[in-house]
Amino acid sequence: MTRIQLSPAPAGLHGQLRVPGDKSISHRAVMLGALSKGRTTIDHFLLGQDCQHTIEAFRQLGVPINMVGDTVTIHGVGLTGLRQPAQALQMGNSGTTTRLMMGILAGQDFDTELVGDPSLSKRPMKRVSQPLSQFGARVLTSEGGTLPSTVVGQPLHAADVQLAVASAQVKSALIFAALQANGESTIREKLPTRDHTELMLRQFGADIQSSADRLTITVQPHPVLRGQHVLVPGDISSAAFFLAGAAITPHSSLTLQKVNLNPTRTGIIHVLQKMGAQIDIQPLASDGEPLGDITIQSSQLRSIDITATDVPAMVDELPLVALLAARAHGTSTITGASELRVKETDRIQTVTTTLRQLGVQVKELPDGWQITGRDAWKLQDPVFSSFGDHRLGMLVAIAALTSPTALSLDGAEAIDVSYPGFLADLRQISGGDQQ
């Protein structure tokens, strides 16, 4: 376990920064490139461990993939061209890889075992395996509904599925299964979730339609997918840490360049605006996902109330919303976020622990928090833990920017799962000594 020191940034955050490529889009670009005919080139690919596991899994499934820097070249084998791997596919810590692969592998003509690290092996997989069964899929899990899992490849039939949870991962797994079914399939959501899979599938040539309210998706089977060029925009989930840091750190003025502005992902921006942050967005021309430059200044924030309808557009950023609330005037309430209990950690519990260590008054709710903001941290203990969760590690680093003294972070290596260069980028804009 790695312990690092995290320094305050009394002069604030300044300059311009281009964050790494969007993780969700990087995963999906590899998957669709592998399932397409011809060559796919991905630029600004995220080099984090999660996305590396996706690449390695498809290599084991017989797909030629080359990497030079953050450019990935894939020679696709088509929807039916994957071959049985010689050993179990290692998912590492990546829930996205695992759940989407279940949908991809369900319609193949071979069986595949999926395994993961201890953290991933605690996360629920029946939320995917059960709805996939409506397509005739067989996804076997442990008795507790977790990894290891065996995907029994077999022919799939069309289905009309109502999702029980608002999860883009589950939805995407079902879409991949529907591509291999014997007829038109329909997937219905309770709340709209991020639509990267649908957008990218259309780019690659699939016939997939979404209703005006984005709650109903219709998928035509067996498309001929063609290799594409994919430019991965900056990950707003990564940019969100710096946006939050600049908002709460005095004397800050920071620009995040070429960030993904997909409306299913911009909940954190709307939260910052509602809380009174000084934020400006400049859209940029794009052939794919919408993107733009975001400039933010340090701001006096006010409290906010978040409910279940707000959650899908910022589920990964909710720990940061809790940190913003801890610095805002008044009492904020965040509810409808029970999904956070089945992430890399129980994030409701681990965020509560972290905020209390900062001296924040926080009440843990079954599906969120009630948080009373304060003007300055009142440290209870300067040694924090990442709990093995990349987002918690980065959260502590952002909290340290306004700390009265340096903080220590145990388990800092978890940050590399999604953002290997995070601490270096933080040093660049803060002039600090995060190491």
- 10 Å Cβ neighbour count for 123? 18
pLDDT mean across residues, the chain: 96
Q: What are the φ and ψ backbone dihedral angles of 55, each rounded to 5 degrees?
A: -60, -50
Name the pTM for this structure: 0.87
The mean pLDDT of 213-229, rounded to a whole number, is: 97
Q: Are residues 117 and 205 in the same domain?
A: yes
The mean pLDDT of 93-112, rounded to a whole number, is: 97
Between the alpha carbon of residue 197 and those of residues 156, 172, 339, 353, the distances in Å are: 20, 6, 20, 35
For residue 331, is it within any domain?
A: yes
Q: Select from 221, 248, 274 the last residue of a domain.
A: 221
pLDDT tens across 420-435, in order? 899 999 999 997 555 5
The secondary structure element, H or E, covering residue 356 is: helix 347-357
- 361 alpha-carbon distance from chain centroid: 28
pLDDT at 288: 77
pLDDT at 431: 78
The mean pLDDT of 170-181, rounded to a whole number, is: 98
The mean pLDDT of 332-341, rounded to a whole number, is: 96
pLDDT at 433: 54
Q: Select from 156, 188, 221 the last residue of a domain.
A: 221
Percent of the chain with pLDDT over 90: 95
pLDDT at 432: 59
Residue numbers annotated as active site: 316
DSSP structure string for 259-286:
EE--TTTTHHHHHHHHTT-EEEEEEE--
Percent of the chain with pLDDT over 70: 99
Which tokens sit at 377?
Answer: 């941290």
pLDDT tens across 254-267, in order? 999 999 999 999 99
347 in helix, strand or coil? helix
pLDDT at 426: 97
Q: Are residues 380 and 252 in the same domain?
A: yes
Q: Are residues 293 and 377 in the same domain?
A: yes
The mean pLDDT of 333-351, rounded to a whole number, is: 95
Residue 188 in this model has a pLDDT that exceeds 60 = yes
Q: Are residues 16 and 115 in the same domain?
A: no
For residue 373, is it within any domain?
A: yes
Q: Select from 188, 221, 254 the last residue of a domain.
A: 221
For residue 303, is it within any domain?
A: yes
Cis peptide before 148 (omega within 30 of 0): yes
pLDDT tens across 46-79, in order? 999 999 999 999 999 999 999 999 999 999 999 9
Q: Are residues 16 and 34 in the same domain?
A: no
Residue 83 in this model has a pLDDT that exceeds 90 = yes
pLDDT at 417: 86
Contacts of 51 by beta carbon, 8 Å cutoff, 6+ apart: 23, 26, 27, 30, 45, 94
Range of the domain at 111: 23-221
Task: Write the CATH number for 124.
Answer: 3.65.10.10
Number of domains in the chain: 2
Residue 328 in this model has a pLDDT that exceeds 80 = yes
